[in-house]
Amino acid sequence: MIKAFLSKLALVASVLSLGSSAAQATAFTIDATLVGDTETINGALWNQSQVSSGSGAYTSLFRVQRSGTEAGYNDFSGVNPFDQVGGVGVLQVDLKDLAVVNIGGVNYVELHFDANNANNLVFTDFRVFLHSDPTDADVAVTAVTVESGINATSFGPLAYDMLGTNIGGANTLTITAFPSGSGTDNMTINIPLSNFTSIPGWNLNDDVYIWVKMTGAQAGFEEFAYLQGVPTVGTLTPEAHTIWGGGAMVASLLVGGMIRRRKSQVAVAS
């Protein structure tokens, strides 16, 4: 009996050990000097980039600036305790205005990131939210509510979370090296557009909020932006409502099926 009990105890300990190891953080890295370096983190593509970040190329969303640990989001109205740099960027950005790219047949919302670091800047938290607010009122949050995950009533539904808590563990991403000089960005973050359009009640005019926390910052500002002169989510409007519009999609499939059957019947008759 004692032997059986000890055997069961060992099995329980083994299961607990597996659960503990599954919950360990996954450390990703990108070398911003290595062309094509990429990581896939919780469904998003984090890619090395050297696109021009000069005036006229970028639409700046927001900047954060502090030595050591810095955090913030795209609101610099002065009602929050974070590290946003005022005077640059947009207080609100609509989903329809963000750049969209197609990679391997999948549409992604693409954000660009430009850092002022020499090495080892670490993303410890990066989340994107879709906030329904027809008045575009500023959303003010505190460090406690953001970092504890209590943000459904402030930022809105979560569209992307690099922490990957739903797959076990808190992920980090380290940018290990940066090219010398300035004028180019360092990385793109490509989030599947379906992450946004699968949120119940989503709208092209919903506000997108981006929250970030980094360590290893070296006094210069870090900037998030999207490119000008490229397709935006809003340019997909006709196709978007056909693809994601529920009833429109069903109607499209039914009509397409009838056309195919009619062509098949004509071919047989001839």
Structure tokens at 73: 């989001």
Q: What is the pLDDT of residue 250?
A: 33
One domain for residues 179 and 85? yes
Count structural domains, the chain. 2
Region of 225 on the Ramachandran plot (φ > 0 left; ψ -120 to 50 alpha; else beta): beta
Kindly state whether residue 168 falls inside one of the protein's structural domains: yes
Give this prediction's pTM.
0.76
121: how many CB neighbours lie within 10 A of its CB? 24
In 89-214, where does DSSP find H-type helix?
A: 143-147, 193-197
One domain for residues 244 and 267? yes
One domain for residues 180 and 266? no
Q: Residue written as tokens 């360590």? A: 215
Kindly state whether residue 1 falls inside one of the protein's structural domains: no
One domain for residues 65 and 34? yes
How far is it, in rounded angstroms, from Cα 138 to Cα 135? 9
Kindly state whether residue 207 falls inside one of the protein's structural domains: yes
E strands along the chain, which residues?
A: 27-31, 38-41, 44-48, 58-64, 68-73, 100-103, 106-114, 121-131, 158-161, 172-177, 187-192, 207-217, 222-227
Q: What is the pLDDT of residue 268?
A: 36
- Given a cut of 70, the residues of the chain with pLDDT beneath it are 1-25, 55, 76-81, 87, 89-91, 134-138, 140-153, 165-169, 181-182, 237-270
Kindly state whether residue 97 falls inside one of the protein's structural domains: yes
Kindly state whether residue 218 falls inside one of the protein's structural domains: yes
Cβ atoms of 103 and 128 closer than 8 Å: no
Strand partners, 114: 223
> Can you give the residue range of the structural domain that contains 245?
234-270
Q: What pLDDT digit, counting tens, does each position of 128-185 carry?
A: 999 887 666 667 666 656 665 555 557 888 899 988 764 455 789 999 998 876 678 8
How far is it, in rounded angstroms, from Cα 117 to Cα 262? 62
C-alpha distances in Å from residue 115, one per residue of 52, 59, 73, 174, 216:
13, 15, 15, 12, 11
Q: What is the pLDDT of residue 181?
A: 65
* Distance between start and end Cα atoms, the chain: 81
Residue type, 144: V
- SS3 annotation, 73-90: ECCCCCCCCCCECCCCCC
Q: Report angle CA 141, 145, 149 to the nearest 5 degrees.
A: 125
Q: What is the pLDDT of residue 179?
A: 85
Kindly state whether residue 14 falls inside one of the protein's structural domains: no
One domain for residues 251 and 175? no
Kindly state whether residue 10 falls inside one of the protein's structural domains: no
Q: Report angle CA 252, 253, 257 to the nearest 5 degrees.
A: 120
Kindly state whether residue 39 falls inside one of the protein's structural domains: yes
Question: Which residues, at least 6 apart from 85, have a Cβ–Cβ distance to it below 8 Å?
Answer: 62, 63, 64, 65, 76, 221
One domain for residues 112 and 246? no
How far is it, in rounded angstroms, from Cα 102 to Cα 96? 16
Question: Which residues, at least 6 apart from 176, have a Cβ–Cβ distance to it below 8 Å?
Answer: 29, 30, 31, 32, 119, 120
